Structure 1
Amino acid sequence: MRRLLTWILSTVAVVVLLFGYRTSTGSAVQPTTGAVVAAPGTGTTGSPATAPPTTGSTAAAGRTYTGAAAQTRWGTVQVSITVTDGRITDVTVPQYPSGNDKDQRINARALPILTQDTLTNQNADIDMISGATVTSDGYVQSLQSALDQAGLG
């Protein structure tokens, strides 16, 4: 009798926990940091957002370097950094996969974290984002290219 009661209570607890779990699939995800992320692309799968090339352009606060575009399984990822006095002062992502809602949700969450980690660490030794591993890998590749151009690599 005791085993049966324990089994029933355990089953009820598991069912309550499963139905009480809220996933993020139904809500819009917005970037939560001050990092700048480019607007989404054309809306077709694999078509990245693009921005005019800024490699080596002189900005008022520093010099901007755009890394090589990294081709990933889900689309192109490209990173631009602004360097002032040998420090990364700004990070933008002019190209990233944004061809469908899933790409947009993933990257709205992952890119602000990646850019903040870049500003904090001042190098390409940043953590991958769980659930956005492909984008994270492309981001690091392009970031390293931009750092090499800036002489910070």
Structure 2
Amino acid sequence: MIITIAAVLAIGLLGFIIQHNQVLSYTIFVNSAPQKVIFYDADRHPVKTIYLIGDRRKKTATGVQGTLVVARKIHLNKNYRSLKAVRYVDSRQRGLLKIQSDPVMEFYYPSRNGKLRSNGRCKIVGHPEIKYFSWQGTSGRDN
């Protein structure tokens, strides 16, 4: 009985350690397919739509860093490498994905354990009306 209890506790502890150290971030999805991001005002009315197209990424001990392209529209067969890539830092410890574009965009995690949701709070420098976002994968075409 003691061995069974010890095994269950060990498995639970191992699961907690793996989940805590696993880097789950929005940017994992940016590098797999273009991501459509819709921004909303405080009343949840759509204000603006952009697309994020991953360029490079590197995992770190505290999150993910890399570059991506911010586009207003996406088109099949377009070479987005010609657009200027911007830096991003996806920090699970801070609960924040920060894109160093013009304007700077900040997406807040709903919790610091790295669990993803397809929507949440955000902030765009110079656009105080924008409060929320929704995040969706795309097929590579503007929908």
Greater share of helix: 1
TM-score of the aligned structures, taking structure 1 as reference length: 0.29
> In terms of Rg, which structure is larger?
1
